[in-house]
A and B are shown apart, each in its own frame.
Chain A
Amino acid sequence: MNRNLIIGGALTALFVCAALVSFLWTPDSVETMNIANRLKPPSADNLLGTDHFGRDILSMLMVGARTSIAVALVAVGIGMGLGVPLGLAAAARSGGMLDEVIMRMNDLIFAFPSLVIAILITAVFGPSATNAIIAIGIFNIPVFARITRGAALSLWKREFIMAAQVAGKTRTRISAEHILPNVANLLIVQGTIQFSLGILAEAGLSYVGLGAQPPIPSWGRMLADAQTMVSLAPHVALIPGLTIIAMVLGLNLLGDGLRDALDPRLKVVRA
C-alpha cells in the first residue's frame, strides 16, 4: 500500500473540504470582532483560540484555506495552460528556432528572483489576490514548459511516434494525440509540487502585505498580524504556521505518492 498517497491525499482532502465547508458554514463569523474575547487560547468555545480582534481562529483558517487553494490552483493552471503547449511545441521542432527561443525565454524567467518579481508585480499593479496569482503563475510557466519538453523529446524517438509520422499525422496532431497523454502523469505529479510551492508563495506575499487584502482572511496575513502578539499568545502564530506546514506537507506527500503510483521511474524536478 502506498503510504505517502494515503497520508498526503487525506491531508489535502481535509483542507479542500474545510475550504468548501467554509462557504456554507464556519464555527463563528470571521467578520465580527469581539475585543473582550481576544487572544484566548484554544477552548471548547473556540477550538483553536481567538486572534487579536477576538475572531475565531478555526473559522479564519477555514476561510483562509479558500484563498490559499484558489491562488495556488489558478497559478498552477496558468503555468500548465501556457507552459505545456510551449514545451510540446519546443519538442516537436527540437533544435529549431522556436525551440531555441522558447528555451532561452525559460532561462530568462528562471534568472529573475521569483520573489522579487512577485513583489514587483503586486506593487506595480496593486496588492490583491489576483495579482498574486499572476505573479506566482508566471514562474510556473517555465517549470511546466521545461518538464514537458524533456519528457516529450524522449517520446519523439519512440517507435509508436514514428509510426504516427509515417501514417501522415502532423506534428501538432501527434503532440496532442500521442505525446500529451504520455506526459500527463508527469504533469500531474509536478502540478502537485507546484501547488504546494504556490501555497508557500501566497503565504509569503500575504505576510508582507501583497497578497489577499483585508477583510479576506489569508494564512500569510494571520501570521503577519500574529507577529507582534507572539510573546503574549504564541498560539496565534503557532496554529496558522502549523496549518501551512500541514497543507504543504500533504501536497508534497501526495505528489510523491502519485509519482510512485503512476510510474515509479518518473523523476520530479523540484524547482
Chain B
Amino acid sequence: MLHYALKRLVSLAISLLVASLVIFVVVEVAPGDPASFMLGINAQPDTVAALRTELGLDQSKFDRYRSWVGGMLTGDFGTSYTYRTPVSQMIADRLWVSLPLALYALTLSTLIAFPAGIFAAARRGGIGDLGVTGATQLGVAIPNFWFAMMLVLIFAINLRWFSAGGFPGWDRGVWTGMKALTLPAIALALPQAAILTRVMRSSLLDILGEDFIRTARAKGLSSRQALWRHGLRNALIPVLTIIGLQFAFLLAGAIIIEQVFFLPGLGRLIFQAITQRDLIVVESVVMLLVFAVIVVNFVVDLAYAAVDPRLRART
C-alpha cells in the first residue's frame, strides 16, 4: 500500500508540474501587454516601462515562471495587476461563494440522484424505470444556463420568491446567503443529477446480476431486501467516483451560471481577469482548479486501493 501511495504521489507531483507549465505557456502567449492595458492607450512609454518593472514583467519568462511556482508553494499567489491586492486574498474571498455553491449543488444532485437511481433500478424495464430514464435523457440535454434563465423567469420575476441575481454576502446571515445561492445551485445540480442517476442505476443493475445477490435471494431475501442490504453498498463505488469528479467540476463549471446570476465566485473572477489581462490571477486560479481536480482524483484512487487490494496490483 505504501509503495502504491508513493508511486501515485510521484505521478501527482509530475502532473502538477506539467499542468503549471502548460498554464504558464498558454497564458504567456496571450496577446496584449498587461502594463499598457492597465494604463490605457495614451500612456507614455516610460510610464509603461516603469509599471512593467514594478509588476516584474521585464524579467525573463523563466524567472517569472520560477517565482510564480515558488510563490505558490509557500502560499503566495502574487499580486493582482488590476486590483493591486494579493491574489490569495481574492481567491479566498471568491471561494466563500464558489465552495458553498458547489457543495449545495452537489448535495441537491445527490439527493435527487440516489432515490431516482434506486427507484429505477428496482423497477428495471417498468414504467417507473422508463420515466426516470426519460427524465435523465432530458436532463443531460438541457443547457444549464438556459435552465437558469427559466428559473429566474419563474421564481424571481413571476413568483418573486428569490432575487434574480447577485450575492448579499454571508454577514447578512446564513439563510440570506443560502437563499441567494438556491436558484444557481438548482441550475447547476440538474444536469449533474441526471448523470449521477444514470450511473447509480447502471451500477446497481450491474451489481444485481452478481452471484452474491443470487445467493442472498436463495437465502430467502426478497429482491428489494437483497438490493438494500447487499446491492446498494457495492454499487456505490462508481457513484462515489462520479461525485468526486462532479465536485471538482462544479467548483470551476459554475463559470457560466455565475455569469447568469452575477455571483462573485471563482468563475467570474477568472472571466474578469481574462478580459482585464490580469495574467497572474488567471494563472493562479486555473492552477488552483487543476490542483483541486488532480488531488480529488488522487484521493479517490487511494481510497479505492485501501478498500480493494486488487487495484494496487494492477498499476
Q: Select which of A119, A124, A252 is within 8 A of B30 by beta carbon.
A: A124
Q: Give the one of B27, B141, B290 with max A CB within 10 A.
A: B141
Q: Are B143 and A203 neighbours in the complex by a CB distance under 8 Å? A: yes
Q: Select which of B138, B145, B289 is within 8 A of A207 by beta carbon.
A: B145
CB distance from B66 to the nearest CB of A (A): 21
Among the stretches A59-67, A70-78, A240-248, the one at the interface with B is A240-248
**Given A200-B143, A208-B259, A253-B137: A108 and B249 interface contact (C-beta under 8 Å):** no
Q: Are B294 and A115 neighbours in the complex by a CB distance under 8 Å? A: no
Q: Select which of A108, A196, A234, A248 is within 8 A of B153 by beta carbon.
A: A234
* Chain A residues, CB < 8 A from B31: 124
Chain A positions 181 through 204: 1 when the CB is less than 8 Å from some CB of chain B, otherwise 0: 000000000000000100010011
Nearest-CB residue, chain A, relative to B270: A116
Within 8 Å of chain A (Cβ to Cβ): is B174? Answer: no
Within 8 Å of chain B (Cβ to Cβ): is A24? Answer: no
Within 8 Å of chain B (Cβ to Cβ): is A216? Answer: no
Q: Select which of B19, B30, B149, B198 is within 8 A of A111 by beta carbon.
A: B19
* Chain B residues, CB < 8 A from A244: 141, 143, 146
* Chain B residues, CB < 8 A from A119: 255, 270-271, 274
* Chain B residues, CB < 8 A from A98: none
CA distance A234 to B256 in the complex (A): 21
Q: Are A204 and B142 neighbours in the complex by a CB distance under 8 Å? A: no
Q: Are B141 and A245 neighbours in the complex by a CB distance under 8 Å? A: yes
Q: Are B293 and A208 neighbours in the complex by a CB distance under 8 Å? A: no
Q: Are B153 and A111 neighbours in the complex by a CB distance under 8 Å? A: no
Q: Select which of A116, A248, A252 is within 8 A of B252 by beta carbon.
A: A116
Q: Are A248 and B253 neighbours in the complex by a CB distance under 8 Å? A: no
Chain A interface size band reads 35 or more
* Chain A residues, CB < 8 A from B286: 112-113, 116-117, 120
* Chain B residues, CB < 8 A from A115: 252-253, 255-256
Within 8 Å of chain A (Cβ to Cβ): is B41? Answer: no
CA distance A170 to B186 in the complex (A): 54
Q: Are A108 and B253 neighbours in the complex by a CB distance under 8 Å? A: no
Within 8 Å of chain A (Cβ to Cβ): is B248? Answer: yes
* Chain B residues, CB < 8 A from A113: 248-249, 251-253, 286, 289-290, 293
Chain B positions 264 through 294: 1 when the CB is less than 8 Å from some CB of chain A, otherwise 0: 0001001100110000001000100110011
Q: Are B138 and A249 neighbours in the complex by a CB distance under 8 Å? A: yes
CA distance A204 to B145 in the complex (A): 7
Among the stretches A28-36, A42-50, A85-93, A223-231, the one at the interface with B is A223-231
Q: Select which of A112, A204, A230 is within 8 A of B256 by beta carbon.
A: A204
**Given A119-B255, A230-B152: A248 and B15 interface contact (C-beta under 8 Å):** no
A interface, over-half SS: helix
Within 8 Å of chain B (Cβ to Cβ): is A123? Answer: yes
Q: Are B289 and A116 neighbours in the complex by a CB distance under 8 Å? A: yes
* Chain A residues, CB < 8 A from B274: 119-120, 123
Q: Are B255 and A124 neighbours in the complex by a CB distance under 8 Å? A: no
CA distance A245 to B11 in the complex (A): 40
CA distance A52 to B30 in the complex (A): 35
Q: Are B141 and A120 neighbours in the complex by a CB distance under 8 Å? A: no
* Chain B residues, CB < 8 A from A238: 150
CA distance A116 to B19 in the complex (A): 14
CA distance A82 to B286 in the complex (A): 25
Q: Select which of B26, B142, B152 is within 8 A of A120 by beta carbon.
A: B26
Q: Are A111 and B293 neighbours in the complex by a CB distance under 8 Å? A: yes
Q: Are B157 and A231 neighbours in the complex by a CB distance under 8 Å? A: yes
**Given A113-B293, A120-B286: A245 and B138 interface contact (C-beta under 8 Å):** yes
* Chain B residues, CB < 8 A from A234: 153
Of the A-B pairs whose beta carbons lie under 8 Å apart in the complex, a sample of 30, sorted by A's number, is A104-B11, A108-B15, A111-B19, A111-B290, A111-B293, A111-B297, A113-B253, A113-B286, A115-B255, A116-B252, A123-B30, A123-B274, A124-B29, A200-B143, A203-B146, A204-B143, A204-B145, A208-B255, A208-B256, A208-B259, A227-B149, A237-B149, A237-B153, A240-B146, A244-B143, A245-B141, A245-B143, A248-B140, A249-B138, A270-B140
Q: A112-B19, A249-B141 are in contact. List 12 more A-B contacts (CB 8 A).
A: A108-B19, A111-B19, A111-B293, A111-B297, A113-B286, A116-B286, A119-B270, A123-B274, A227-B260, A237-B146, A244-B143, A253-B137
The 10 closest A-B pairs by CB, nearest first: A113-B252, A241-B146, A248-B141, A123-B274, A249-B141, A124-B30, A111-B293, A231-B157, A245-B141, A111-B294
Chain A residues near B (Cβ < 8 Å): 104, 107-108, 110-113, 115-117, 119-121, 123-124, 196, 200, 203-204, 207-208, 223, 226-227, 230-231, 234, 237-238, 240-241, 244-245, 248-249, 252-253, 270
